[in-house]
Amino acid sequence: MDDKEFHCWLVDMVEEAQDASYKSRRTAERDIDYYNGKQLTEEELKALKKRGQPPIAFNLIRNKIDYLQGLERQQRTVPRALPRTPMHEQDSEAVTDALRYVCDDQRYQDMKSLVWADMLKAGWGGVEITVEQRFDKKSAMATTAMTPPDYDVKIKRCAWDRMFWDPHSGEDDYTDATYKGMVIWMDRSEAVRRYGEAAASVYDETVSIATTGSTWDDKPKFAWVNSARRQRIRVIQIYYIDEESGEWNYAEFTKGGILQNGVSPWLDEDGKPEDPYAWRSSYTDRDNNRYGAIRDLIDPQDEINKRRSKKLHIDTSRQTYGNRTFGKDVKENKRQLQRPDGHVTLEGDAQFGKDFGIIPTNDQSQGHAEMYQQAVQIFEVMGPNAAMQGKQDGTASGRAIALSQQGGQTQMGLLTDALRQLDMDCYRKIWNRVRQFWTGERWIRVTDDQRNLRWVGMNTQQQMPMQPAQQMGPDGQPQGQPNMKVMQSPISEVDIDIILDEAPSVGALMDEQFALLIDLKKMDRNNEIPFKALIAAAPNLRSKAELLKAIDEKEKQPPNPIQLQGAQAELQEKQANIKDKDASATLKIAQAQQALAAAGAEGQPQATELVNPLEVDKTVADINNTNAHTQKILTEADKAKVDTHVNALTAIHQMTQPPATPPASATPGAGVNGQ
The β-bridge relationship of strands 277-281 and 232-241 is unpaired
Q: Output the pLDDT for position 295.
A: 93
pLDDT at 597 over 70: yes
| Predicted local distance difference test score (pLDDT) of residue 464 | 47
pLDDT band at 138 (very low <50, low <70, confident <90, very high): low
H runs (alpha helix) in 389-492: 398-411, 413-437
CA gap 248, 141 in Å, rounded: 34
Q: What is the rounded distance in angstroms from the CA atom of residue 134 to the CA atom of residue 156?
A: 17
- pLDDT value for 474: 44
Check residue 654 and give its pLDDT.
Answer: 58
Burial of 214 (0-12, 13-18, 19+ CB in 10 A): middle
Could you tell me the pLDDT band of residue 372, with boundaries at 50, 70 and 90?
A: confident
- Alpha-carbon distances, residue 660 vs 245, 541, 654, 663 (angstroms): 59, 17, 12, 9
DSSP one-letter code for 256: T
Phi, psi of 481 (to 5 degrees): -85, 145
pLDDT reported for residue 604: 53
Phi and psi, residue 183, nearest 5°: -100, 120
pLDDT at 422: 94
**What CA–CA distance (Å, rounded) separates 283 from 292?**
6
Q: What is the mean pLDDT of residues 3-14?
A: 92
Q: Can you give the pLDDT at residue 170?
A: 94
Residue 501 main-chain phi, psi, to 5 deg: -75, 130
Overall average pLDDT of the 16-44 stretch: 93
Q: In this predicted structure, which of 160-169, 200-209, 367-376, 619-628 has the lowest mean pLDDT? A: 200-209
pLDDT at 208 over 70: no
Per-residue pLDDT band at 155 (split at 50, 70, 90): very high
Return the top range by mean pLDDT from 251-255, 381-385, 409-413: 251-255
Q: Specify the pLDDT at position 573.
A: 77
Confidence of residue 249 (pLDDT cuts 50, 70, 90): very high
* Annotated domain spans of the chain: 3-59+123-291
263: three-class secondary structure by DSSP: strand
Q: What is the 3-state secondary structure (H, E, C) of 6-52?
A: HHHHHHHHHHHHHHHCHHHHHHHHHHHHHHCCCCCCHHHHHHHHHHC
* pLDDT-derived band at 154, boundaries 50, 70, 90: very high
**How far apart, in Å, do the first and last CA atoms of the chain sit?**
42
The better pLDDT of the pair 576, 604 is held by 576
pLDDT at residue 408 in the model: 61
Quick check: pTM over 0.75? Answer: no
Q: How far apart are CA 365 and CA 307, in angstroms?
A: 10
Tens of pLDDT along 46-73? 988 888 888 888 899 999 999 899 888 8
Q: CB under 8 Å to 53, separation ≥6 — which residues?
A: 309, 310, 312, 313
Residue type at 551 in one-letter notation:
I
CA–CA distance, 610 with 597 (Å, rounded to integer): 12
- For residue 643, report the phi and psi dihedrals to the nearest 5 degrees: -60, -40
Q: Rounded to 5 degrees, what angle do the CA atoms 278, 494, 134 make?
A: 60
Report the distance separating Cα 428 and Cα 127, nearest Å: 13
Residue 86 is classified by DSSP as G
Q: How far is CA 90 from CA 83, 178, 252, in A?
A: 8, 39, 42
Average pLDDT over residues 559-586: 72
> What percent of the chain stands above pLDDT 70?
66
Is the pLDDT at 375 greater than 50? The verdict is yes
Give dist(CA 7, CA 1) in Å, integer. Answer: 10
Chain segment 453-469, per-residue pLDDT in tens: 667 777 776 544 444 44
Residue 663 has what pLDDT? Answer: 41
654/266: higher pLDDT? 266
**In the structure, what pLDDT confidence band is assigned to residue 542 with cuts at 50, 70 and 90?**
low
Q: What's the whole-number average pLDDT of the chain?
A: 75
Q: How many CB atoms lie within 10 A of CB 20?
A: 17
Sign of the four-CA dihedral 12, 16, 17, 19: positive
What's the confidence (pLDDT) of residue 660?
46
φ, ψ (nearest 5 deg) of residue 35 = -60, -35
Torsion angle of the four alpha carbons 72, 78, 82, 87, in this order, in degrees rounded to the nearest 10? 170
User: Average pLDDT in the 402-421 region?
Assistant: 76
Which of the four pLDDT bands, split at 50, 70 and 90, describes residue 353?
Answer: confident
Mean pLDDT of the 127-155 span: 74
Least confident of 52-56, 225-229, 380-384: 225-229
Question: Residue range 185-207: average pLDDT?
Answer: 75
* pLDDT-derived band at 102, boundaries 50, 70, 90: very high
Query: What per-residue confidence (pLDDT) applies to 550?
Result: 78
Average confidence (pLDDT) over 167-190: 92
Which whole number is the average pLDDT over 643-666? 53
